[in-house]
Structure 1
């Protein structure tokens, strides 16, 4: 075990953990942040996507070692059920969630895109979101939600 300090959603957390522990497990089991989900464990579905220094990463594959000087953001940083952020609100309005399992990862990947490129065209959105899968098939609604936020002038 090693004492690591992780900056998660703007708060520093000192964790006594195995440095090879995947970030997903530290977030869920150590910090109680359950937004990111375990999907495949192989970085193929995107359910575990979080932002590290504003870039989407698969937290199931990312070891905690090496993240001490990075900014980690989870879906919990975007808003809450009572006060959803603009991107979350757009997903709700577009009824982009069916089972909801993929949505946290989808939101974080979309957030990264909108922060980098506030007005992406549909082809850019599709290409950027391709690595996140929705088994319920709501991809078109997800794209609609992202386009709605992009049309409002940018990132959440």
Structure 2
């Protein structure tokens, strides 16, 4: 289930500043100027080493949550062992869309996965990993196309 439109991304207005020196306890604002993002936004100052370490952990968490998403989805597909009122009633309490225990659990795991994925993206952007990967891909396309910058692939 997707987040309602009124629900704000948990990292909106929060930036990560990569510095050469280790951050003082990883505290918010860590001496860096406030971000130009949303009001009340902040900035975490991290050394490159700290940010890379945090990225490894965030990716591991996202991978674990992705596996949990698959498991949670399967749980929402459970059917009653027998076609009798007791089994059907209990099954409904487990899988009813939006209110069954497994359905609510799946929604929570989906949100946690999105949060972890957003954190990975923010950290990769702060480390310049996304931009350099895009530049490498563009260079690969130019090489495959004959190396000319003025020509398209078509």
Per the normalisation by structure 2, the TM-score is 0.22
Q: Which has the higher helix share?
A: 2
Per the normalisation by structure 1, the TM-score is 0.22
Q: Which has the higher strand share?
A: 1
Higher-Rg structure is: 2
